[in-house]
């Protein structure tokens, strides 16, 4: 990471420079004892990180931080100072870390690890901004990378064709499969003509918002070039398939990913062909919310567990495992009324909709917990 040091005491500056030059992740591109000169260097080099003393002549460290942020909010700030009194102000202006002198190798290594994580997040955010965006979980919204939104699809079939190809994630589909999906009751020739017209209109709709040359045709098959696209359902699905356990290292990522799921695919647009994928994503959401709830139960953070179990039950009201976990949470919280309410809700639902009782293990768990409260 390109680094600038701003320190008004020359011996300390030299010591910091020597320490940073030994760190494989830091490249010192400038060092300054004068904050005005430092600002010029920051404008010139646009570093990744600035290590900054709080008490500087002319422009103090807090004010310099504000100027840096107004120039480039992606530059990370680390305060290295002998004064505790500026800590609150430093974090208010977005400091990544606040190190009290004398700085040690351990301080620097811990700070560099934090800087690297932030840099990765910044780069991901930049890559995200460059992509066209498709949101299909609980809604159906399409934006170009310039921020223009598709507001008119010309026909419902144009919108459905785009939806189908998005769900295929760039795979090429034979024109006859597309005809069967979109016009199942039409004669082949008529369906083929309708497909050509719909492809033409889809290209036009996307071109109007600045999305060009993505609908391709090869060897009797159509597909979309999607390497420059972000889609919320892909992100959600890929994360769950790549991660199994929830732990201290990834809990924030699990929670962020779970927030992506906002309901059934394409919102109010009801397509027959998306039923299997809808069921899969709903299972993934239930799996995610229950796993997060189990993590918080282990930490005895029962209010957070309860919140995620409510989400799991809302997504699948017949999920007995979610109800069992909820009963445990009520037991741990000493809330007998809520424990009874949740069990009764499950029991009544099964009786009304399925004409059956919950599993014997669920009934047994309920009775055991009630006896202990």
Residues 6+ apart with CB under 8 A from 166: 134, 136, 224, 226, 229, 231
Domain containing 105 equals 2-128
- The CATH number for 101's domain is 3.40.50.2300
- The CATH number for 193's domain is 1.10.10.10
How many domains would you assign to the chain?
2
Q: Give the pLDDT confidence score for residue 328 in this predicted structure.
A: 97
Q: What is the pTM of this model?
A: 0.69
Q: Per-residue pLDDT for the chain (373 aa), expressed as one digit of tens each?
A: 889 999 989 999 999 998 888 888 888 889 999 888 988 999 888 888 899 998 888 888 889 889 888 888 888 899 898 888 888 888 888 888 898 888 888 889 898 888 888 776 665 665 677 889 999 999 999 999 888 999 999 999 999 999 999 999 999 999 999 999 999 999 999 999 999 999 999 999 999 999 998 999 999 999 999 999 999 999 999 999 998 889 988 898 899 899 999 999 999 888 999 999 999 999 999 999 999 999 999 999 999 999 999 999 999 999 999 999 999 999 999 999 999 999 999 999 999 999 999 999 999 999 999 999 8
Q: How far is it, in rounded angstroms, from Cα 95 to Cα 114?
A: 11
Residue 216 maps to a domain: yes
Residue 346 maps to a domain: no
The answer to whether residues 119 and 158 belong to one domain is no
Cα dihedral 203, 272, 223, 280 sign: positive
Residue 203 maps to a domain: yes
The Cα-based distances of 302 to 238, 252, 295, 299, 305 in angstroms read: 28, 17, 10, 8, 5
> Would you tell me how many other CB atoms lie within 10 Å of the CB of residue 246?
20
CA Rg value for the chain:
28
The answer to whether residues 169 and 212 belong to one domain is yes
Question: Angle CA(128)–CA(131)–CA(135) in degrees, nearest 5?
Answer: 85
The Cα-based distances of 40 to 5, 14, 96, 174, 371 in angstroms read: 13, 20, 22, 59, 72
Residue 240 maps to a domain: yes
Of the candidates 84, 101, 128, which is a domain's last residue? 128
Residue 317 maps to a domain: no
């Amino acid at each position: 990471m390109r680094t600038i040091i701003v320190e008004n005491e020359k011996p300390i500056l030299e010591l910091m420079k020597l320490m940073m030059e030994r760190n494989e992740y830091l490249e010192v591109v400038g060092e300054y004892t004068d904050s005005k000169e430092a600002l010029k260097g920051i404008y010139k080099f646009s570093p990744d990180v600035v290590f900054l003393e709080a008490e500087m002549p002319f422009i103090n460290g807090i004010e310099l931080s504000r100027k840096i942020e107004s120039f480039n909010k992606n530059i990370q700030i680390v305060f290295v100072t002998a004064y505790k009194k500026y800590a609150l102000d430093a974090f208010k202006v977005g400091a990544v870390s606040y190190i009290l002198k004398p700085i040690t190798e351990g301080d620097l290594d811990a700070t560099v690890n934090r800087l690297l994580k932030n840099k990765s997040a910044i780069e991901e955010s930049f890559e995200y901004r460059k992509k066209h965006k498709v949101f299909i979980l609980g809604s159906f919204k399409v934006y170009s990378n310039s921020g223009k939104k598709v507001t008119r699809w010309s026909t419902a079939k144009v919108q459905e064709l785009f939806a189908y190809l998005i769900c295929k994630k760039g795979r090429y589909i034979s024109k006859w499969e597309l005809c069967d999906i979109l016009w199942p009751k039409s004669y082949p020739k008529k369906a083929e003509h309708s497909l050509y017209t719909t492809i033409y209109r889809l290209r036009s709709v996307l071109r109007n918002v600045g999305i060009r040359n993505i609908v391709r045709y090869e060897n009797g098959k159509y597909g979309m070039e999607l390497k420059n696209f972000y889609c919320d359902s892909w992100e959600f699905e890929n994360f769950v398939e790549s991660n199994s356990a929830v732990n201290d290292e990834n809990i924030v990522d699990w929670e962020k990913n779970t927030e992506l799921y906002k309901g059934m695919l394409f919102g109010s647009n009801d397509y027959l062909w998306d039923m299997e994928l809808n069921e899969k994503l709903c299972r993934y959401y239930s799996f995610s919310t229950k796993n997060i709830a189990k993590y918080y139960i282990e930490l005895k953070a029962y209010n957070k567990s309860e919140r995620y179990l409510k989400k799991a039950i809302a997504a699948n009201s017949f999920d007995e495992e979610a109800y069992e976990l909820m009963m445990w949470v009520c037991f741990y919280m000493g809330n007998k009324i809520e424990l009874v309410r949740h069990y009764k809700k499950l029991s009544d639902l099964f009786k009304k909709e399925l004409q059956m009782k919950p599993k014997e293990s669920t009934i047994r768990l309920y009775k055991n917990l009630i006896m202990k409260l």
